[in-house]
Amino acid sequence: MTIKYFDKAISLNKISHTFGFKWKDIDQILEKIDSEMLEVKEAFLSKEGEHRVTEEMGDLMFAVVSLSYFVKIDPEQAFIYGINKYEKRFKTVLKILEEKNISLDDNHSSELLYKVWEEAKLRTGAAGED
């Protein structure tokens, strides 16, 4: 995703806002996000095809950008922050596996991976900072 799409989503929110399409409060937006999440799940489970899933994921992403607009947070900066935090934690997961002499080629149980992920969160800080 490039910045032009974040900008376009924010612009559409601003234009809609001037015509009275306004979120009442944050709970209303969070309900919309929950609703869109369910629609993504339903589209995936219905096996209607990639197009429907893609469409529903787009609706979800737009709703999240709308939340960002509502709370005055730059969606691109938030997205970059999330990517960087995930990358840092994942690198820490790989380091922990190496320290424990656990082969990176093995199929690991989700329980083990969850424990290692939680350890990585502790090492990198709950907010992804040192």
- 105's CB contacts (< 8 A; 6+ apart) are none
Asked if residue 128 has pLDDT above 70, the reply is no
User: pLDDT tens for residues 111-120?
Assistant: 988 999 999 9
User: pLDDT tens for residues 22-44?
Assistant: 899 999 999 999 999 999 999 99
Domain count, the chain: 2
Q: Single out the residue in 73, 88, 116 at which a domain terminates.
A: 73
Asked if residue 108 has pLDDT above 60, the reply is yes
Q: Which domain holds residue 65?
A: 3-73
The CATH number that applies at residue 13 is 1.10.287.1080
For residues 77 and 71, what is the distance between their CA atoms, to the nearest angstrom?
13
Which two tokens mark 4? 């032009």
Confidence band, pLDDT 50/70/90 cuts, at residue 130? very low
Are 61 and 36 found together in one domain? yes
pLDDT confidence of residue 49: 82
Mean pLDDT for 7-30 is 92
